Amino acid sequence: MSYAETEMKIIRQVEATRGVDGDIEFDLEAIDDYMESLRWFSDQESPDKMAKMIGWIGLSLISICATLDVNFVDCLDIAYEEGEGNQEVFEEDQDS
């Protein structure tokens, strides 16, 4: 299944269960929990467990975007563009 198909399934589920004026607090709390789990994973943990946690974080982020009527890919593009600018500043600092 493609990313776009998966994203649409998540968005449809959010719209069906929460509507556009839903509460994102659940997703924010879930992301905190998933991030805490990732922090505690050691190198001995299975890649499947890591993938599952990362997947749950992604699902939560897409759910928040659907609730707020924001496109997740647009958010990634903005962050990437800002990150590139930050990298240039970092490289200039290293040259000094």
Could you tell me if 66 and 11 are in contact, meaning their C-beta atoms sit under 8 angstroms apart?
Answer: yes
Going by C-alpha positions, the residue among 77, 53, 48 that lies closest to residue 65 is 77
Cβ 59 vs Cβ 10: under 8 Å: yes
In this predicted structure, the answer to whether residue 5 has a pLDDT above a threshold of 80 is yes
Predicted TM-score of the model (pTM): 0.70
Dihedral of the alpha carbons of 58, 28, 12, 7, in degrees to the nearest 10: -10
Q: What is the dihedral of CA 72, 27, 58, 16, to 10 degrees?
A: -70
Binned at pLDDT 50, 70 and 90, residue 91 comes out as low
The pLDDT tens digits for 23-47 are 778 788 888 888 877 777 665 677 7
